[in-house]
Structure 1
C-alpha cells in the first residue's frame, strides 16, 4: 500500500466495518495481506475480546465458565496489544519503502498510529452493537432514542479520530513527526516476572 494517509484511514475503516458484519455471520478470518493483514488481525482480537467480555458479565454463567472466559480475555488482550505494535512496525516499513526520513527536531505523538487504529476498531464494534439495539422489539421508544444519541456520538468520535489519524500520518509522511515502537512489556503474562506465576512454579518443584 502506498503511503497515502487519507487512503490508508479510509481502507482501515472499511476493513473494520465490513469484517464486523461478516464475523457475526461466519468464523473470524483474515483475507488481507501486508499492512491491512496486520490491521485485520488486531481487529480480530478486539472482536473476540468484545464477545468474551459480554459473557463475563452474564449472571447466568457458572464460576468455572467465568474462569475460562477471564483467561481468554487475558490472552486476547495480550494479543490485541502485541498486534498494535505490529501495526506500528508495518507503518515503519511503509515509511521506509517511501524513503521517508524524519526531519531534524521531528516530534513524537503521545499515541501511535497503531493505538489510534485500535480505538477505531473498538468504535466499529461499538457502533455495530448499538445498531443491533435499534432492531429490538422488546424495548420502548426512550431506549431507542438513547441508543440513537449514542450512535450519533460514536460516529462523531469515529470521524474525529479518523481525521486526527490522517493528520498524524501526514505529519509522518512529511517527516514532521517521528514514529517509535515502544514495547509494552506487560508483566502479568510473563512467568519470570509475575510473582504469582514464578512462585507457583517453585512450589510445584518443591
Structure 2
C-alpha cells in the first residue's frame, strides 16, 4: 500500500469543508476509513470544546460537553494508533539499524487533522462580517503561519513514509495508554466506584 501525505492532508481539508455543510460521517475503506474516523473525532472535539467554554448554557450542557470531549479524545487517539498499526503492517519498519523517528505517522496525521480544522476556522475569522479590520488582519497573519505549519508537517510525513519504506528510518508504535477513561487506572473512578454486596 502506498501512503501519500499530500493526499492525506488534502482529504482532511476536503472533509472539514464538507462537514460544515452536511452531517459529518466517515466513509472509505481500510486505511482511508481510519483516517476519516480520526478526523471525524477531531472535528467533533473542536466543536464540543467550543460548547464547553460557553457560560450561558448552564452546568448540565457543559457537563455533557466535557463527557463528550473525553470520549472523542479517547476515540481519536485509538484511531491514530490503528493508523500506526496499518502503516507497520504495510511497510514493516526496521527494528533497528537506522534512525528512529520520535513521532509516529499516526501522531503526525492526527496533528495534520487538527491543523486542517484550525486553518478552516482561522480563515472564517478573516472574512467574518462583524469583525474589525484589525481582527481580520491579525487572523490573516495567523492563517499564513498555520498554512506554513501544515505544509511543513505534510512534507515531514511524506519524508517519513519514504524513509520507512526504504528502510532508512523507523518508528515505534508505543501507544499512549490513556488512563483517565479506564476505571481500573483512574483513582477517582476505582476509589469511588459503587461497591456491590454491602449490607
TM-score (structure 2 length as normaliser) = 0.93
How many aligned positions are there?
198
Q: CA deviation at 1:135?
A: 2.6
Q: Which residue of 2 aligns with 1:143?
A: 135
In structure 2, C-alpha distance between the alignment counterparts of 1:75 and 1:190, rounded to whole Å: 11
Q: CA deviation at 1:104?
A: 5.1
Structure 2 unpaired stretches of 5+: none
Matches for 1:82-121 after TM superposition, within 5 Å: 82-96=78-92, 102=94, 105-121=97-113
8 Å Cα contact 2:94-2:169 kept in structure 1: yes
In structure 1, C-alpha distance between the alignment counterparts of 2:33 and 2:135, rounded to whole Å: 37
Q: CA deviation at 1:205?
A: 5.2
1:201 aligns to 2:184 (yes or no): no
Q: Which residue of 2 aligns with 1:52?
A: 48
1:29 aligns to 2:21 (yes or no): no
In structure 2, C-alpha distance between the alignment counterparts of 1:53 and 1:44, rounded to whole Å: 14
Q: CA deviation at 1:193?
A: 1.5
Name the one with the larger helix percent: 1
Q: CA offsets, 1:90-144, max 9 Å, x none?
A: 1112214xxxx52851232111011111111000000101111123221111111
SS at structure 1 position matched to 2:2: coil
TM-score (structure 1 length as normaliser) = 0.90
1:64 aligns to 2:56 (yes or no): no
CA separation of 1:188 and 1:172: change in aligned 2, threshold 3 A: same
Q: CA deviation at 1:200?
A: 2.1
CA separation of 1:77 and 1:205: change in aligned 2, threshold 3 A: farther
Q: Which residue of 2 aligns with 1:172?
A: 164
In structure 1, C-alpha distance between the alignment counterparts of 2:23 and 2:131, rounded to whole Å: 29
Q: Which residue of 2 aligns with 1:81?
A: 77
Q: CA deviation at 1:31?
A: 2.1
Write out the 4+ residue segments of structure 1 that deviate beyond 3 Å after TM superposition. Answer: 202-206
CA separation of 1:10 and 1:200: change in aligned 2, threshold 3 A: same
Structure 1 unpaired stretches of 5+: none
